[in-house]
Amino acid sequence: MNIMLATVLERTREIGIRRAIGARQADIRNQFVVESFTITAVGGLLGIAMGVLIAKGVALYAGWTTIVTLASIVLSVGVSAGVGLGFGIYPALRAARLDPIESLRYE
């Protein structure tokens, strides 16, 4: 959530410009929700890929067998995306509620 809040603060002028040229609050909110969801989903996929590779490497070295099911991958990506969505909603709402005039003055 902190990263997305920092992103909102960094992009305050951009948000103000978009609002001034006609973007609705819903447009701004949706942009930040989609960004948050995308970042966490990609992070989840990369984390799963690294985890599977490391687990397979350790198993090969130690002589163990590893089982990675499709269900565990889907669950992991779903949890990651859900957390991103959940923690992206507050910053998205905050960005959507920014006053366009005040946002343009922000520096």
Provide the domain count of the chain.
Answer: 1
Sort residue 26 into left (φ over 0), alpha (ψ -120 to 50) or beta.
Answer: alpha
pLDDT profile of the chain (107 residues), mean per 10 = 87 93 95 92 92 94 91 91 90 92 82
Please give the pLDDT value at position 1.
72
Residue whose structure tokens are 């609002």 = 19
Please give the pLDDT value at position 21.
94
Please give the pLDDT value at position 81.
87
| Tokens (6 digits) for 39 | 């970042």
Please give the pLDDT value at position 20.
92
Please give the pLDDT value at position 107.
67
Range of the domain at 57: 2-105
